[in-house]
Structure 1
Amino acid sequence: MLLQSIKYTLLLCFLPICIHAQQTGLDTDVPDPGYWQFSAGDTAIIFADMAYIRNSPGLEGSMVSDSLQAGTKAVIVDEALSSSTIKGFRAPWQEIRYRKGGQEKHGYIWLGLLAIGHTTIDNGQICLYGFDRYIPVQGDHYASFSCAVKLIGPQQQIVARHPFSFGYTEQSATEIKGLNGMGLKGLRNIIWIGFLGEACAISSDYFYFGWNGSTFIPLPGAYRVSDAGVFYHSEQMLFPSEHKKAANIIYKMIEEGVSIEEGEGKEMLYKIKKKKETYLWNGKWYVKVKGSK
């Protein structure tokens, strides 16, 4: 109880100060997440259901007759150019090279229409994710991105999609991994998406989606946050192939630490508390076991 009291006191006193300052800036300044880091020659993939190409970088450029659907690959021609605010957030433009109607063409695209990342799963299908819209601070709700994960079939058709919301507090990086079913009955793959924070109690948020061959199923998520010398909170998901126990169980291992000693020449000591959440999987959905800890 002492640890819990200290932890929440710190969270209440420290986090709102840190995050409020960030969110205030985000509320007045349009965010530029900067997750699209392309160099000349890199291959990018369209995330938007339909992306229109322009003849010059910027909203003043005329839209050419070409439109590229989700899953289409394009090659980056040159370095990033000027930025524009569309869908509530800011991103640059880049020149791309693509094929349309059997011909190679050039044009400019706003990077917010591209996938942030992608991975290959389930017989070579491409799983990608990106942003649909930025939602600024609204009352007691922090800023967030409306996101989606999509699976693209061999004919560049959208086989499946699932929306999710990502609470943006200036996380500095993002990544995606395609795992196997990790021992969960009925799943072919598990998609892992992370938005990673690195400073000032900015959390790293992890999203998991099961793929059963026809639809995405959201699984329990996890997060990590810390402030050096003050506290940390860490969550780790364990699936059947990892914990080697029952095939219908998912564990979330949680560890919290609050510093109790510091000073010159002294080793940092933490008051640590560990607990475990248990989720039952029935092949189609999961349910948290009440009182699991």
Structure 2
Amino acid sequence: MKTLLTAWCLLMLQFFTAQENEIYADGIFGFEQNKTQKIFTNWTRVRKEPDANSPILDSLQSNQTIMVLNKEETVPVLQLGERKANWYKISYQKGDVASEGYVWGGNLCVGYRNKNGYDFLLGLSKTISKKIKELNSFEKQNIAGIKVMEGNNLIDEVYFDTGKGEELSSAAFNIESNHKLQNVEFTLKAMISGEACGIAGYDQYVLFKDKKLVALPQLMNVGDAGVYYHSEVYVFPNDKGGIHDAFVFKMEDVEVDEKEKETKKSSSKTYLWNGNSYQLK
């Protein structure tokens, strides 16, 4: 009986250990089948099978349109740095030739838009180790990027931090107005966030002017179930309370203690815009 009980305990231990070690794909890399998508990472490898060691059939450039045929859920999720994604079976067209193969989901756009003949791509490009001065240690950070393409030609690109793996649950990518900023054609807004309480979300505004991308200081928002939240927003000239040729950064912290007493802190700073660049007032 003891032998049977010991065997059962070992089996359950192995089961839970396997569950803890299992890698789950980041939600941001969840793509629907039978939907068109775009390649973000230049020279993305197309493989014969959903495996990093499988023979390479082809390579695809940024802005290549593909069709997602299927998510390969029967093969392990591949993790590169802090990015974790499934393999996808795709089809695509190069000239008159139609082809199929497998690509890693981390190389695909998590958002893309088209305006005035330009394609704007949002993707996660890599993971870097960033030094945290206060702790005198290094922390892994994911890097997102926005590219502006004219066909196959890269016109400009900007990159920004997006936190760690748990902060890659979802993404949104929109084109907004020029917010009445001088010489700005329009504004791009990328939003990357986690879903759980206490997990940060990032808003990245990028101005588009004269075929150039100008990234504004990044905004971060985080909340914890009515106990605490940290909010950062911009007030642009076309917003209520906006200032001509400037954008205003506003920050608010709200914390609720055990007696449900609310403590609020806020601050703001103004960035002047001269039609080409910004500077802190």
TM-score scaled by length of structure 2: 0.82
The separation in 1 between residues aligned to 2:256 and 2:92, in whole angstroms, is 54
- Counterpart contact for 1:261–1:270, Cα < 8 Å: no
Give yes or no for the alignment of 1:201 onto 2:198: yes
Structure exhibiting the larger radius of gyration computed from Cα positions: 2
| Counterpart residue identity of residue 207, structure 1 | Q
Query: Does the Cα contact within 8 Å between 1:142 and 1:167 map onto a contact in 2?
Result: no
Which letter maps to 2:163?
G
Deviations 1:235-284 (A, max 9, x none): 1111111136432110122222121464xxxxx54222333221111111
Q: Which position in structure 2 is the counterpart of 1:33?
A: 26
Q: Which amino acid aligns with 2:35?
A: D
> Within 2, Cα distance between the matches of 1:167 and 1:84?
19
User: Of residues 134, 145, 163 in structure 1, which corresponds to 2:127?
Assistant: 134
Paired residues of 2:62 and 2:152 also in contact (CA < 8 A): yes
Alignment of 1:59-74 (within 5 A): 59-64=52-57, 66-74=58-66
SS of match in other structure, 1:141: strand
The alignment covers a number of residue pairs equal to 254
Distance 1:30 1:209, change over 3 A: farther
Mark the runs of 5 or more structure 2 residues left unpaired by the alignment: 1-20
Corresponding residue of 1:280: 272
- RMSD after superposition: 2.3
| 1:161 partner letter | E
Identity of aligned residues (%): 25
* Structure 1 segment 1-293 matched on structure 2, within 5 A: 32-64=25-57, 66-81=58-73, 82=75, 83-86=77-80, 89-121=83-115, 123-135=116-128, 140-153=137-150, 155-168=151-164, 170-171=166-167, 172-243=169-240, 245-260=242-257, 262=259, 268-289=260-281
8 Å CA contact 1:150–1:160 kept in 2: the answer is: yes
Please tell me whether the aligned partners of residues 142 and 165 of structure 2 are also in contact (alpha carbons under 8 angstroms): no
Distance 1:31 1:180 in 2: 37
User: Contact 1:250–1:280 (CA<8 Å) still a contact in 2?
Assistant: yes
Work out whether residues 201 and 225 of structure 1, in 8 Å CA contact, stay in contact via their aligned partners in 2: yes
2:263 & 2:250 partners in 1: Cα distance? 17
CA contact (8 A) 2:45 2:56 kept: yes
CA 1:137–1:251: 2 relative to 1, 3 Å: closer
* 1:10 paired residue number: none
Contact 1:117 1:129 in 2 (8 A): yes
TM-score by length of 1: 0.79
